[in-house]
Structures are given as C-alpha cells and as structure tokens.
Amino acid sequence: MRIVPLGGLGEIGRNMTVFELNGKLLIVDCGVLFPEEEQPGVDLILPDFSYIEDRLDDVVGLVLTHGHEDHIGAVPYLLRRKADIPLIGSKLTLALIEAKLQEHRITPYTLTVREGGVERLGPFECEFIAVNHSIPDALAVFIRSEAGTVLHTGDFKMDQLPLDGRITDLRHFARVGEEGVDLYLADSTNAHIPGFTTPEKEIGPVIDQVISQAQRRVIVASFSSHIHRVQQVLDAAAAHDRKVAFVGRSMVRNMSIAKQLGYLEIPENILIDLKKVDQYPDHKVVLMSTGSQGEPMAALSRMANGDHQVQVGEGDTVILASSLIPGNETGVYRVINGLMSLGADVVHKDNAKVHVSGHASAGELLYTYNILKPGNAMPVHGEHRHLIANGKLAELSGVPKENVLLCEDGSVVDLRGGTARTVGQIEAGYVYVDGSSVGEITDSELKDRRTLGEEGFISVITVVNRQTGKIISGPDIHARGVAEEDDVFKKIKPKIAEALTEAIEGNKEHTTHQLQQIVRRTIGSWVNRKLRRKPMIVPVVVET
C-alpha cells in the first residue's frame, strides 16, 4: 500500500491523505488551510490535487473523519473535477458538507456510516471507530487490505466526561490492536503538551459565570461548527433569562443543521433574529458569532472595526471561546485591541478558562500507543514540532525508531510486509483560492503583493527616440506608499535620462525590455541607498 499525505504535515490544516493499492485510491479528508498575513488577498489554501488529477476515476471513496473546515473545506474544489466521487462520513459530517456543496451547486454521492460500521471500498475495507473531538460524530478509520492495516485517527481526544456522552472508544481501539495495526496515523496537534486535555465540561461553568456577571450584551465568538460550545452558551443564556441571536452566515447554517439532526438542543423561545436584537434590553441579549480567529471578513472582526450592524460599546462583554490556531495570533490580538478600544470587556483563553482543546495531549496519545502496539507510526495533523513530539511518544511506547516516519506533505510511504518506509517525494505545494480564481495566484505574485504593501510602488515613464537616442518626454516618476513626495525624485531623473541615452547611443539593438531594466536598476539602487526602501518599480519605456 502506498500512502501519500497531500496536506496536514508541517501545518495546522489542509488535511488530506491518499492511500493507493492495486491501482485504486482511497482518500481520507480533504481540508483547507487558512492564510496568514504573508499571503495577502488569499481566501483559502487547498491541497495540491496534481498527484491524483489524472486518476480521479480510480478514487473509490473520500472518507471524511469529521466536519471541521480543515478536513472538509476543500471537498467542493475536488468535486468540481469529478462530482461523483463517493463521500463517506457520519450523519453530521455529511450534512455539513452537503450544505457547503449546495452553495457550489454540486449534488454529491454520499454514504452515511457510523461507529462499528464496515464498508468495502475497492481493495480497502474501512471500519469506523467513535472518537471524541470538539465537534460531534467524529470517526477514526481502520483500513484493512491485503498489503496491511492502517489506523487513521482523524482529530481526537479522550474526554472522559463529554457533553454528548460519546467517548473515544478505547475498547474498539483495543480490538483492532489485537488484530494488529501495521501503521498508525495519529493526530499530533497537542503531542507536545504533557498530561491530559481538560474536559469540555469545565468550560460551561466559566461561561455561565461570565454571562451572569455581564452588565450589558454578551458576544461569544467561536468556530461555527463547535456545536458543544454553542450548546453551553445557549444553556447559560437560558439560565440567566437572555435571548440568543446567531451572527454570521456559517453559524446560522451549521446550527440549523445541528438542530434538525438532534445534535443541538435549543431551549424554547430563546432564539431571536439578529434584526430584532435592538428590541430587547442589552442585559437580555447574547450574540453567538463567528470570527474567533481574527478573520478580516468575519462578524467579530467587522464589529471591532465598527463596520457591522452590531455596534460594540462601553460595558459589552466579548468572549473568545475557541483555540488560537498558530499563525492567527496577530489577527486575533488586533481584534481584541479593537474591541477593548470600543469599551468592551474581552474574555479569552489568556485570562479565563473559556476554551479547551479538541486534541489529545501526550498522556492520551501514549494510552493509544500502548493499547494499539502499532508496528509503524506516522504522526499526522500538526506543525513539525508537533510531529516530532508525537514521534518521540511513539518511540517511548516501544515503536522502533526506524519505524517512526516523520514525513512532510508529499512524502511517499510504502507499507509492505508489515514495514513502512519513505520511498520518495512528490510536489505537494499550496494552491491558493483568491476570489473566483483557484490556483492562478503564485508565490511570486504573493511576494509582489507583500512588496506593494510593505515598500510601496514607483512607476517611471519615459519616451525616447530610438534613432537619435534623445529623451522626448520624462522620465516621469510617480510613487505610492513610499512616504515621500514626488519632488524627492528630481535628483535621480537626470541620471535615468543619462543612462538611457548612453545605452541607446552605445547599442542601437537594445530591446525595450533591456532599456526598462536599465531604468529599474538606476532608480532602484538610488532609492535603496537614499531612501532605504525596496519598492516595486514598474519602468515603462515608450519608443518613437
């Protein structure tokens, strides 16, 4: 069996793994990665589908372990290429992806499974195991094949007192461990944190206390798929006689789905429409919002900027009830500062226990290694530091060091005769979604955007006579974002003209591009030396 991770290794997000046997492909998860500040203008980052692009007819199924965006967000972009790839997942997971696909006008072929179920997908037999996570209905998948067995956990933790009573099924883990796990792919996100992840139950009383003490409106920001957290907010609001309004399109959509399927219990007469919030006293309102990661266009960020219909003011309480995804720190703290400058009291993980992780810490991972006794381990889902920490846990539990595979996106792993080894590497780069364009933005163009944002822009327009070598017009220099008036460039204009004239007189065969490069070098070195800047320079030479 060949295993190729196309995302999720060395990053938090973009989770996607391809399993290959006898010419058939099984995919586990297909998620997105959210952009960081050095990727301006980018909406989403997808896995690179190039490896399977020409083999989509060989895909026997796409197993979705749970309904978070970093595991299902890229499914619409894969199904644009082949709409009838079977999607396999739990009831809630499939409901969430179906709603997303409806927006893309794709009707998927789905197969609903539940814990304990077994499905034959081509040469792969998949058995599904209940795992606990920060969203209901998460599943691990145990893959049997003639080439060996693989257990893929998806995201999980071992909360012993979950709100929905659905624990990670360690008895089921033990059964597949007795059968034999040749390769274990385990969630690495919290592998560097000792001990055990705090139970979700401990968050409810903190949220209740904050709401009980709030003098005006309470705004709670969380992931739009964190149904357990929304349930805790609804219960606390009901206990203190407050109405709740959902804010943000994805929050409204996901909570509607969760209610219809029975995963969310909404107290009677507690929900109100956002448009009617102003009809209630401030101390009687809770707003459940998106934007906990500082996303610029999400509801909470717009509130912090003062351009949302919900105007945050003095005495309001804002609770950031979610984890801080690595890379989002700057955006989140910008939102916190914006809200506090408006007079709000902001409660977040640094000053109150308003969030617990959805991922297994080191103690929990050691439990699974000792229960499963896998022959080989390949840590997944995490940055490099997380993968390394998970690998060390595997070694501590008795997995031979040479059987612990610390891979990266695009690593090619072969499982043969009970032994897994890295045998190669394929290209598995970032694919950027920018508005309606997918994959058209390159790293070079992102570098240009960063340069424009950080250093500014200078255009130089010159009209020359090729025959005489004379400058007919210009150089006209215009700068934007350089923090200097255009007058500052008076000193360099004669040098540009001189360089162009010398070039034309010395060699009549100079191309227009070569002349433009002469202009770029001349003004570029001067700006760097005199102004200590490296702006984007666009030289235009017009010949007559």
CATH topology of domain 2-195+357-431: Metallo-beta-lactamase; Chain A (3.60.15)
CATH number of 200-347: 3.40.50.10710
State the architecture of 443-543 in CATH terms: Roll (3.10)
Q: Is 172 annotated as a binding residue?
A: no
Place of tokens 């969630």: 187
Contact 109, 85 (CB under 8 A): yes
Given 172, 228, 359, 386, the catalytic residue: 359
Whether 187 is a known active-site residue: answer yes
What percent of the residues of the chain are helix, what percent strand, and what percent coil, each to the nearest 5? Answer: 35, 25, 40
Given 29, 187, 345, 409, the catalytic residue: 187
The CA-CA-CA angle for residues 261, 267, 270, to 5°, reads 115
- Specify the DSSP element, H or E, that contains 150: strand 148-152
Render each residue's pLDDT in the chain as its tens digit; 544 residues.
999 999 999 988 899 999 999 999 999 999 998 776 666 566 678 899 999 999 999 999 999 999 999 999 999 999 999 999 999 999 999 999 999 999 889 999 999 999 999 999 999 999 999 999 989 999 999 999 999 999 999 999 999 989 889 999 999 999 999 999 999 999 999 999 999 998 988 888 989 999 998 888 899 988 888 898 899 999 999 999 999 999 888 889 999 999 999 999 999 899 998 888 888 998 999 999 887 676 666 778 888 887 788 888 888 898 888 766 666 667 777 888 888 888 888 888 777 777 788 899 999 999 999 999 999 999 999 999 999 999 999 999 999 999 999 999 999 999 999 999 999 999 988 887 776 556 566 666 666 666 665 667 778 888 877 776 677 777 778 777 665 666 677 777 777 777 777 777 766 666 777 778 888 888 777 777 777 777 777 888 877 7
Q: Is 348 annotated as a binding residue?
A: no
Q: Is 43 annotated as a binding residue?
A: yes
Contact 292, 321 (CB under 8 A): yes
Residues of the chain with CATH 3.60.15.10: 2-195+357-431
Residues of the chain with CATH 3.10.20.580: 443-543
- Phi first, then psi, for residue 99 (nearest 5°) are -65, -40
Q: Is 68 annotated as a binding residue?
A: yes
Q: Is 48 annotated as a binding residue?
A: no
Whether 359 is a known active-site residue: answer yes
* The model's pTM: 0.81
Could you tell me which residues come within 8 angstroms of residue 513 by beta carbon, excluding any fewer than 6 positions away? none
Strand arrangement, sheet containing 431-434: 44-46, 431-434, 437-438
Place of tokens 């005006």: 216
